[in-house]
Structure 1
């Protein structure tokens, strides 16, 4: 059984197609709608989910790129999903512009065969991404929809090695329970609350410095084409129909990102592929 947390900030019709593509009555679905997206989006999605008793909406908060709010939403989502059901085994986070490349039957079978594995990029930050060490070496503050990065140097956590990856993961309930509820994780939350782009390092650093997980597989099982976006940021390129061959043959479970307004045909093609795989 899978627990999904889906982060949405626009495109309700695209979200509905994603939801239908990943829906299975044995799973649990929790949806967070960015508070800045407005009540119309929240009401639309809430009404849509009323037909699915194994789904619910997480109380909205502002989701600011680069801020700890993204980590906080993930933690609240994990905790809420553990309250909802005690039997799910894997947690998967998605954005509303992701789409599955495999059926739920395939994903269930895959995870049952990899029951004690954590699918997450978790790399030694100093060795593999030394250019990002300033994210943790200088304090960052999130306030009223803005990120503030004054010149306030600090030491990293004593006896802890910083790790880095992406925001996306497929992790065990065991890890979710540890990161949400253990006393040990509190010090990580305190430090990363003032860390720039904390969602790419917090979960990895907790995992790799503690015995709270299964075998770590350096793969988040997402097909993403990262392209430059400014001096410090990479963004996922939007897939279009010309990417269909790569998407269809990929061994990844999900891909991001898609834009229904830019190219609806690629979503049509993947939906057809999934339905023909049943």
Structure 2
């Protein structure tokens, strides 16, 4: 694991843990900026193989705020697979102690150390999830993941209140045969009441320039609907291709930056920024799949957040064929049910996968408590949930026939 501190200029500095942690874990500096841990496994066994027929690699951005450190850690274990890449961030609503505790928990897991694919952002910054600072945070997460690893295929955003309803073997299986440029992003150009209420008003998100989390405030002026581009909106939870994330961050096209400036003053910018960029970019318009693969339950009429899920939603959640669901309260009994029946995850363990089948005293170098991680991380074992998800994705793609973003 690396503990990453980022200055406003995107430099990475060493995040210093307590002397106890440094003594407990054998560590070394990978370079001048990134702190890592020493490993005893053969490095070749930790590198995912890529190519035709091989499973993809997911890059996860897991974000949370005050009181959500343990939820983020539980979510990490639920979506963990050695092939994937993980970046964790607790915003400025958390104390330094909570952030350090999350880092300590990650460092304490020998599996994470063995594959060195989990990192923590060491320096927090303010985020308002109803403002534009959450878009800045998401772009920052993608940029860091691209800087550390450039081998992943899809970027997945999850919050502390999300949870998977399939194993990673299932998800990897469902995505193995897909073109790697597809983007799973819920979108529509029918703004309705949103047009004057959300896009006509000008907001200021102080989290872009303050150290502590703050609520956005409204300016007295209003503005007309843009004529230079068409606004699209949808779910803020996305599965985006590496090529599209590179377009948003590095592209020589000015559109991603121009839209970033515009959405700086739009409420709930995370529900519109990526949708508007992708649907106004000719090279990506035909890569959209209008589905975020999430399960929600909404009030009627819908409110700003979906309803909290519980055990009464379990059957519908599994039947939906979704990959993830939200929102959950911490330690809700339905999460244990998902762990037991779907993920086959022990209270302190990671979810089931072909690579990890339980304790194995013959797994040398890391101890018998780590489990059977000596197997092939490129081999996956889908179950009925994975096959169902694959069929659902195929049907969604077939129904849409990958037409360009359109008025809905």
Change (3 A) 1:207 1:48: same
Residue pair 1:117, 1:217 contacting (<8 A) in 2 also: yes
Change (3 A) 1:60 1:212: farther
Structure-1 separation of matches of 2:100 and 2:334: 27
Deviation at 1:109, TM superposition (A): 1.4
Q: What's the TM-score, normalizing by structure 2?
A: 0.63
Moved more, 25-34 or 43-52: 43-52
Residue pair 1:228, 1:234 contacting (<8 A) in 2 also: no
Structure-2 separation of matches of 1:196 and 1:248: 33
SS at match of 1:162: coil
Q: What's the TM-score, normalizing by structure 1?
A: 0.91
Residue pair 2:165, 2:338 contacting (<8 A) in 1 also: yes
- Give the match for residue 236 of structure 2: 167
Deviation at 1:149, TM superposition (A): 1.0
**Alignment size in residue pairs:** 271
Structure-2 separation of matches of 1:75 and 1:22: 21
Residue pair 2:88, 2:120 contacting (<8 A) in 1 also: yes
Residue 119 (structure 1) aligned with residue 215 (structure 2): no
Q: Which runs of 5+ in 2 are unaligned?
A: 1-56, 345-351, 354-408
Structure-2 separation of matches of 1:80 and 1:156: 33
Residue 238 (structure 1) aligned with residue 308 (structure 2): yes
Residue pair 1:248, 1:273 contacting (<8 A) in 2 also: no
Residue 222 (structure 1) aligned with residue 294 (structure 2): yes
Tell me which stretches of 4 or more aligned residues in structure 1 moved more than 6 Å. Answer: none
Instruction: Say which of 247, 254, 261 aligns to 1:190.
Output: 261
Q: Which has more radius of gyration?
A: 2
Residue 33 (structure 1) aligned with residue 90 (structure 2): yes
Instruction: Say which of 154, 161, 168 aligns to 1:97.
Output: 161
Structure-1 separation of matches of 2:245 and 2:277: 11
Residue pair 2:205, 2:215 contacting (<8 A) in 1 also: yes
- Give the match for residue 272 of structure 1: 340
Deviation at 1:269, TM superposition (A): 0.7
Instruction: Say which of 119, 129, 132 aligns to 2:194.
Output: 132
Structure-2 separation of matches of 1:275 and 1:179: 34
Residue pair 2:195, 2:225 contacting (<8 A) in 1 also: no
Instruction: Say which of 62, 72, 76 aligns to 1:6.
Output: 62
SS at match of 1:164: coil
CA deviations 1:229-265 (Å, max 9, x no partner) are 9xx942121111122211222210000011125x2x2
- Give the match for residue 107 of structure 1: 171
Residue pair 2:185, 2:240 contacting (<8 A) in 1 also: yes
Q: Which runs of 5+ in 1 are unaligned?
A: none
Q: Over the residues paired in the alignment, what is the CA RMSD in angstroms?
A: 1.9
Deviation at 1:228, TM superposition (A): 6.9
Structure-1 separation of matches of 2:258 and 2:264: 10
- Give the match for residue 384 of structure 2: none
Change (3 A) 1:129 1:155: closer
Residue pair 2:166, 2:343 contacting (<8 A) in 1 also: no
